[in-house]
Amino acid sequence: MQQLDFDKSDGLIPVIIQDATTRQVLMLGYMNQEAFEKTTREGVVTFFSRSKNRLWTKGETSGHFLHVIDWKVDCDQDTLLFQVRPQGPVCHTGSDTCFNESNHDTHFLHYLEQVIQQRRDQPAESSYTASLFRKGINKIAQKVGEEAVELVIEAKDNDETLFLNEAADLMFHYLVLLSAKGYSLQDVISVLEKRHRAK
């Protein structure tokens, strides 16, 4: 492990908190050596609060903990990047980030992926998604094909509601197919990014 330089800023190191799934920056905090050791030991982010002058585990009051997925040190060993899975809103204002941003828009797809994976790994009898996984890859692929055809049919008409609902059905079943194959939306995005850079 790289040697962290806590001496450069009076014993504190700035810590960037990033959503491990969406890669969105959630907040900035500070850690001293003790907070860093507690965080890496327990897997939940603990800061050193400059206003409280003590260790402060994010979520200790609200229950909105930041669960550590991975962490990295910058090239100067004086800044940390923690990739986390947030348990609820990050900001005390109720916002998804401390920069007053929302994770809901396109980031909802990443959340939906997590739900789909949970249904795959912890199937419930009443879950439609779990029932798709039980039917196997051929049935899932067939369902994607059916939804694609239905979307094409609706595209020829001018009913916005029906078209968007069919588009949503196709997107959902496409995500289920990706999960069944062991891939994620990020894998597809990476391919698109490589194609874009090659042009």
- Torsion over CA of 2, 8, 10 and 11, rounded to 10 degrees? 0
Whole-model pTM?
0.58
**pLDDT at site 3:** 81
* Cα–Cα distance for residue pair 57/38, rounded to 1 Å: 9
- Report the distance separating Cα 147 and Cα 166, nearest Å: 7
What are the structural domains, with CATH classification, of the chain? 13-86 (3.10.20.810), 107-198 (1.10.287.1080)
Distance CA 150, CA 170 (A): 9
- Tell me the Ramachandran region of residue 5: left when phi exceeds 0, alpha when psi lies from -120 to 50, beta otherwise: beta
List pLDDT tens digits, range 81-133.
999 988 888 988 888 889 987 655 556 787 788 889 999 999 999 999 999 99
Beta bridge partners of 171: none
4-13, 135-144, 156-165: least confidently modelled range: 4-13
What's the chain's average pLDDT? 91
87/44 Cα distance (integer angstroms): 10
Is beta strand 25-31 parallel, antiparallel or unpaired with respect to 66-73? unpaired
Q: Is the pLDDT higher at 192 or at 70? A: 70
Asked if residue 29 has pLDDT above 70, the reply is yes
Q: What is the pLDDT of residues 142-178, one digit of tens each?
A: 999 999 999 999 999 999 999 999 999 999 999 999 9
